[in-house]
Chains A and B, each alone.
Chain A
Amino acid sequence: MNMMSDMNSATACLLQMTDEHFQLEDYQSGVPRWCTGCGDNAILAAVQRLCRDEALRPEKTVFVSGIGCSSRFPHYMKTYGFHGIHGRALPVAEGVKMARPDLTVFVNTGDGDCTSIGAAHWIHAIRYNMNLTVFLHDNQIYGLTKKQASPTSPIGTKSNTTPRGSYLEALNPLTVTLGVQNVSFVAQAADWIPEVLFDIVKAAYHHRGLSFVRIIQRCPEWLPKALDPWMHDPNKVLLLNHANGLQASAGLSRVYKNQIEHDPLNIDRAREIASDTETIPVGILYNNPAVPCYEDLRQSDKLRTADLTRAGLNAELDKYTVWPQGAEQKVA
């Protein structure tokens, strides 16, 4: 018995008859078209594990994505999904959540999708703080279109659009997120540490509000060596421990000795850690459950039935109706 199934009991009770024992394969749909070796596979495995462990019912779960390698994610989940348009994963997800607050909504977006064309939506989604779980699959390149530099590409990245190397310092999605008002949950994971990845995914899911998880992800096809310095030197990974955050396991601590205690409520320290680009901080940087959600602030007291929706729509459309002569009385 877990907390979420209690919270959703209003709708869940009707569906208790269904089999609640899920396997990982129950959430698998189709064969991923990602390259062999791609970090997206690790994210998929972690998210499917979450769904199984939390017994999320497929018909009550939605994955919304934009465009890019990462955004093929909904295709491989046997749940509801929305493969949206470029950069607009977050507004679509917000709409879904607004209309159906009973659904669990996940967003999968890439570094190009989120931090470039979708940057405006990203910032406002954080400020709105709706109860969504957002995974930023950050492989620092446009992979689907075969190697163009993205905002998070490190300076000097040679690509098809920057043959002489990119000119600008890479954008840091963590500091940007931590700089926006109403931010409530920011974490960073690396796909090559699946244990922490899963723990973070789980914590993000349990956070009420917009949980923003940046997942540093290898692209074996277009930037095969880019993350090698961090992968091959465990000391360049900084594990964040805290009683209110995560605790590294014994097995993990043997490999990753570089660890600090970090209180997820301390936003200044979080910003400091996030600005460090030498090491990759892995763990929960910031987690403040007290930030209000937009859907709570704007919750309507009316029950959203089909009739209500129809009446609302009709009233809206009626504003533009050209009435035939003599019909005024009818309306009155």
Chain B
Amino acid sequence: MEADTQAHVAFFLTGRRPSQHLDAVDGLKLRPALFAGYRELTQLRYDFPLVLVAQPSNKLFVQSLSGIVDAALSTAARGSNAERIRKHALRMEQEIRVLVAGGASGSLSTLWDKAATRLARDSDNTLADSLRRTRKAITTDGELADCDAALPARLLQHAWSAVQKQKSEDFRKDLDRLVLKLSDILKADFQRSEAGRSAKHLKEAVGSGFDNAFDFDAMSQLLAKALPKDAFPESRRKRIRELLAVLGAQQFYRSADAAPKKGTAKPYSFLFDSCAGALAAFRERMPKLIELARAIAVAELEIDGQYSESKHDALFEQFGANGLDPQDLAPFPDYLVCVSAEKMLPEEQSQLMEILSSGLPIKVLLQIDDILEEATGGEGNLAAGMRSRQIANMAIGLNEVYVLQSSSSNLYRFREPMLRGLAYRGPALFSVYSGANAKASDLPPYLMSAAAMESRAFPAFTYDPSAGANWAARFYLEANSQVDLDWPVQGFAYENEEHQRVSEDLAFTLVDFFASDRRYARHLARVPREKWNGSMIPVDESLSRERKGLPDKVPSLLMVDADNVLQRVIVDERLIREARRCREMWHSLQELGGVHNSHAEKLLARERSAWEERMKQEAEAHAEAAPVAAASAPAASATAAVAVEEEAERSPDEAYIETPRCSTCNECTTLNSKMFAYDNNKQAYIADINAGTYAQLVEAAESCQVSIIHPGKPRNPNEPGLEELLKRAEPFL
């Protein structure tokens, strides 16, 4: 072994740099090679900053700035000036991005104006024209939010407020209706009462215009004679008054009046910064909530005149004694708790688990700013972010918690899952990695969080118990890039010493993510260019090698320094061990998400071997039968054997056409010319089974004039209406 390689292996095993040819990476400002292109984020077009839409509608509570600009351009940039307007609008977008990155905050419109004045300084009036036209096409406005430490809480609170506002409106409408109807009942009762039929009241009711035309005393006497037979029971009157009092005193939603009357209690707040607080508030408000829910239920019955004291009194006496089910809780506000994983104390954590496991309508945002922190074990014990990930995994295990895990770079793409989580009846956990830990890394939070997701350190997924009964419906992992691979692979191109373009595929592994954090610098060592040799292999390759005895290859990374010069860095064994662990965790997530599912693969292997066995037996049976036939009729048996073989190859599950019998009638090719094609005798065959649906196969089989299309079994189990299709396909199998 060469001396250099020996030194590399020594570093790999011990983490010490014995030779002067291995440099410490501190201060070199290295970043993973794949990040070379993302040095200046303000120059790039990406999802951020986001616009938190000021008047959120049903689904639309957030939009990306680039999305808004694109939408505006699609209407504004038309005609001969289109290209000019597009250029100016994009420059504007970039200017806003620069402003936001510089720390400016405010709504889109204020920042737009600010950026416009900045741009106007050195440009002509065509710019003003372009911007005016683009601005006119922008219909939304709202606060701008960049990808920073505050983003997860801001975004989720914004979404939550939008959902609560809608809920509040619905609830108010319902409540107002109840109050109005109940008041009407009381009013009607009064009209029939003694006082209601008094001359004074009748006069008031008619108004002053007809004072002389009417004799209200006579009318009152007349009415008094027609006494209603069934009197309004006092108990009902009392009950309705009580209901009205309860409905009027509710504190769960802000009342409709702009300025609440004195004496009415202030509405509750549902936003908390600790699990304990939320839990305490929930318990404290429980009696009030039950009272209100009961009042609503009774009021509905009263309005319909269905309330019967003998039947319902006892029933409502016990109302809510066993707690309320999610159905009853649904109209009431949800609680939102925003906590930080780093500051979380053990008691707080147990409160969180209580919230999640008890099915309360509490939504929890668990924000993680640093997943690379070292565990309390200290030196050598790298439990990277395991604590925060534990919580999400445990929550999934609870089976009825909506769990969303994502890094903040991906939150915009997860806006709909976010709304689904907020609408979910029951607890929801939003575990978000913000990437904002300035003291550990030179990279902006957006890149850090994107890297965490890309490197499988913090995979994005959602678990939605309301989506269906099984994992396939509930678990969604596809948001991660290249979900079926261990590590995502990206193309990377650079210029070598001879000024030639070199491109290779690089896997982005957990080690790349670690390497962007300066606390891990001691696990890395830069190898000077003249010492590069073949024993340095990429990390992903090293991970897939089985190690026996002393290693002869050392894992290495490609990185770039501040001047965008390519550097090679070797990695010690601890990081590799960590990466291996991360890969195992990713594998188990993949299985949950249905990628490389071991159960399915096991089943498939079993079925395949059984099928092969069967085929082998059949082939042997043919081999035995063939010589007999050959003896009797040599000429005929040859063709017959060929025909039999052809038939044996056909499984009834496989779709096929008896091509020689095709009468070229164009039925199937008209139906789908990609799926069905003609051979060089102009007779149909299945050219591409994936080019169409099973429904089309069945339809083709039905319309085939000579019934030679056999649709087999469906290939896509999710195709709608399969049951009916299978029935239709039966005669053609």
Instruction: Say whether A191 contacts B660, CB under 8 Å.
Output: no
Name the one of A23, A191, A250, A251 contacting B663, with C-beta atoms under 8 angstroms.
A191
Interface contacts (Cβ under 8 Å), in number, total: 59
Residues on A with C-beta less than 8 A from B682 are 24, 45, 48-49
Residues on A with C-beta less than 8 A from B640 are 250
User: Chain A nearest CB: distance from B534 CB in Å?
Assistant: 54
Instruction: Say whether A250 contacts B639, CB under 8 Å.
Output: yes
A89-132 CB contacts (< 8 Å) to partner B = none
Residues on A with C-beta less than 8 A from B666 are 32, 36-37, 41
Instruction: Say whether A218 contacts B683, CB under 8 Å.
Output: no
Supposing A37-B665, A49-B681 touch, asked if A192 and B706 sit within 8 A by C-beta, the answer is yes
Could you tell me the distance between the alpha carbons of A194 and B682 in the complex, rounded to whole angstroms? 11
A203 on the B face (CB < 8 A): no
A39 on the B face (CB < 8 A): yes
B629-685 CB contacts (< 8 Å) to partner A = 636, 639-640, 643, 660-667, 670, 680-683
Could you tell me the distance between the alpha carbons of A249 and B638 in the complex, rounded to whole angstroms? 12
Could you tell me the distance between the alpha carbons of A231 and B664 in the complex, rounded to whole angstroms? 16
Instruction: Say whether A231 contacts B681, CB under 8 Å.
Output: no
Instruction: Say whether A45 contacts B705, CB under 8 Å.
Output: no
Q: Determine the residue in chain A with the shortest Cβ distance to B658.
A: A251
Residues on B with C-beta less than 8 A from A48 are 682
A20 on the B face (CB < 8 A): no
Instruction: Say whether B664 contacts A254, CB under 8 Å.
Output: no
Supposing A49-B682, A254-B643 touch, asked if A44 and B664 sit within 8 A by C-beta, the answer is yes
Residues on B with C-beta less than 8 A from A276 are none
A169 on the B face (CB < 8 A): no
A235-256 CB contacts (< 8 Å) to partner B = 249-251, 254
A11-53 CB contacts (< 8 Å) to partner B = 23-24, 32, 36-39, 41-42, 44-45, 48-49
B117 on the A face (CB < 8 A): no
Name the one of A36, A192, A220, A249 contacting B670, with C-beta atoms under 8 angstroms.
A36
A261 on the B face (CB < 8 A): no
Could you tell me the distance between the alpha carbons of A36 and B669 in the complex, rounded to whole angstroms? 9
Instruction: Say whether A192 contacts B663, CB under 8 Å.
Output: yes
User: Chain A nearest CB: distance from B213 CB in Å?
Assistant: 80
Interface centre among B636, B662, B682 (most CB of A within 10 A): B682
B381 on the A face (CB < 8 A): no
Could you tell me the distance between the alpha carbons of A250 and B635 in the complex, rounded to whole angstroms? 11
A207-239 CB contacts (< 8 Å) to partner B = 218, 220, 231
Instruction: Say whether A42 contacts B670, CB under 8 Å.
Output: no
Instruction: Say whether A38 contacts B665, CB under 8 Å.
Output: yes
Instruction: Say whether A24 contacts B680, CB under 8 Å.
Output: yes
Could you tell me the distance between the alpha carbons of A49 and B682 in the complex, rounded to whole angstroms? 8
B183 on the A face (CB < 8 A): no
Name the one of A24, A38, A49, A194 contacting B661, with C-beta atoms under 8 angstroms.
A194
Residues on A with C-beta less than 8 A from B680 are 23-24
Interface of B is mostly: loop
Residues on A with C-beta less than 8 A from B703 are 37
Could you tell me the distance between the alpha carbons of A45 and B663 in the complex, rounded to whole angstroms? 8
Residues on B with C-beta less than 8 A from A254 are 643
Residues on B with C-beta less than 8 A from A195 are 660-661
Name the one of B639, B660, B665 contacting A39, with C-beta atoms under 8 angstroms.
B665
Interface centre among A23, A191, A194 (most CB of B within 10 A): A194
Instruction: Say whether B681 contacts A45, CB under 8 Å.
Output: yes
Q: Determine the residue in chain B with the shortest Cβ distance to A42.
A: B663
Q: Determine the residue in chain A with the shortest Cβ distance to B703.
A: A37
Residues on A with C-beta less than 8 A from B662 are 194
Residues on B with C-beta less than 8 A from A220 are 665, 705
Q: Determine the residue in chain B with the shortest Cβ distance to A32.
A: B666
User: Chain B nearest CB: distance from A178 CB in Å?
Assistant: 27
Supposing A42-B664, A195-B660 touch, asked if A251 and B705 sit within 8 A by C-beta, the answer is no
Could you tell me the distance between the alpha carbons of A24 and B680 in the complex, rounded to whole angstroms? 7
B681-733 CB contacts (< 8 Å) to partner A = 681-683, 703, 705-706
Interface centre among A24, A250, A254 (most CB of B within 10 A): A250
Could you tell me the distance between the alpha carbons of A72 and B149 in the complex, rounded to whole angstroms? 76
Residues on A with C-beta less than 8 A from B660 are 194-195, 251
Residues on A with C-beta less than 8 A from B636 are 250
Instruction: Say whether B664 contacts A194, CB under 8 Å.
Output: yes
Question: Using a Cβ–Cβ cut-off of 8 Å, how many residues does chain B contribute to the interface with A?
Answer: 20
User: Chain B nearest CB: distance from A174 CB in Å?
Assistant: 21
User: Chain A nearest CB: distance from B318 CB in Å?
Assistant: 69
Residues on B with C-beta less than 8 A from A192 are 663, 705-706
Residues on B with C-beta less than 8 A from A44 are 664
Could you tell me the distance between the alpha carbons of A273 and B598 in the complex, rounded to whole angstroms? 66
Instruction: Say whether B639 contacts A36, CB under 8 Å.
Output: no
Chain A 194-206 interface 0/1 with B at a Cβ cutoff of 8 Å (1 = within) = 1100000000000
Name the one of A45, A218, A249, A250 contacting B664, with C-beta atoms under 8 angstroms.
A45
Instruction: Say whether B639 contacts A45, CB under 8 Å.
Output: no
Supposing A37-B666, A41-B665, A194-B663 touch, asked if A231 and B643 sit within 8 A by C-beta, the answer is no
Residues on A with C-beta less than 8 A from B705 are 37, 39, 192, 218, 220
Could you tell me the distance between the alpha carbons of A140 and B683 in the complex, rounded to whole angstroms? 25
Could you tell me the distance between the alpha carbons of A41 and B684 in the complex, rounded to whole angstroms? 12
Residues on B with C-beta less than 8 A from A193 are 661
Could you tell me the distance between the alpha carbons of A159 and B639 in the complex, rounded to whole angstroms? 46
Residues on A with C-beta less than 8 A from B664 are 41-42, 44-45, 194
Residues on B with C-beta less than 8 A from A36 are 665-667, 670
Could you tell me the distance between the alpha carbons of A23 and B706 in the complex, rounded to whole angstroms? 25
Residues on B with C-beta less than 8 A from A24 are 680-682
Residues on B with C-beta less than 8 A from A191 are 663
Residues on A with C-beta less than 8 A from B661 are 193-195
Q: Determine the residue in chain B with the shortest Cβ distance to A197.
A: B663
Q: Determine the residue in chain B with the shortest Cβ distance to A255.
A: B661
User: Chain B nearest CB: distance from A34 CB in Å?
Assistant: 8
User: Chain A nearest CB: distance from B667 CB in Å?
Assistant: 5
Name the one of A42, A45, A250 contacting B643, with C-beta atoms under 8 angstroms.
A250
A262-315 CB contacts (< 8 Å) to partner B = none
Residues on B with C-beta less than 8 A from A37 are 665-667, 703, 705
Residues on B with C-beta less than 8 A from A231 are 706
User: Chain B nearest CB: distance from A303 CB in Å?
Assistant: 41
Could you tell me the distance between the alpha carbons of A44 and B682 in the complex, rounded to whole angstroms? 10
Could you tell me the distance between the alpha carbons of A254 and B706 in the complex, rounded to whole angstroms? 16
Q: Determine the residue in chain B with the shortest Cβ distance to A38.
A: B665
User: Chain B nearest CB: distance from A278 CB in Å?
Assistant: 21
Could you tell me the distance between the alpha carbons of A220 and B704 in the complex, rounded to whole angstroms? 11
Residues on B with C-beta less than 8 A from A49 are 681-682
Residues on B with C-beta less than 8 A from A249 are 639
Residues on A with C-beta less than 8 A from B643 are 250-251, 254
Residues on A with C-beta less than 8 A from B683 are 45, 194
Could you tell me the distance between the alpha carbons of A250 and B646 in the complex, rounded to whole angstroms? 13
User: Chain B nearest CB: distance from A246 CB in Å?
Assistant: 15
Could you tell me the distance between the alpha carbons of A193 and B666 in the complex, rounded to whole angstroms? 16
Could you tell me the distance between the alpha carbons of A251 and B681 in the complex, rounded to whole angstroms? 17
Could you tell me the distance between the alpha carbons of A41 and B706 in the complex, rounded to whole angstroms? 13
A179-199 CB contacts (< 8 Å) to partner B = 191-195
Could you tell me the distance between the alpha carbons of A283 and B665 in the complex, rounded to whole angstroms? 22
Q: Determine the residue in chain A with the shortest Cβ distance to B642.
A: A250
Sorted nearest first, the 6 A-B pairs with minimum C-beta distance are A45-B664, A42-B663, A45-B682, A250-B639, A37-B665, A41-B664
Q: Name 26 A/B residue pairs within 8 A (Cβ), A-sorted.
A: A23-B680, A24-B681, A24-B682, A32-B666, A36-B666, A37-B665, A37-B666, A37-B705, A39-B663, A41-B663, A41-B664, A41-B665, A42-B664, A44-B664, A191-B663, A192-B663, A194-B660, A194-B661, A194-B664, A194-B683, A220-B705, A249-B639, A250-B636, A250-B640, A251-B660, A254-B643
| Contacts from A to B (Cβ < 8 Å) | 23-24, 32, 36-39, 41-42, 44-45, 48-49, 191-195, 218, 220, 231, 249-251, 254
Known: A38-B665, A45-B681, A45-B682. 8 other contacts (CB 8 A): A36-B665, A39-B705, A42-B665, A194-B663, A194-B664, A195-B661, A220-B705, A251-B660
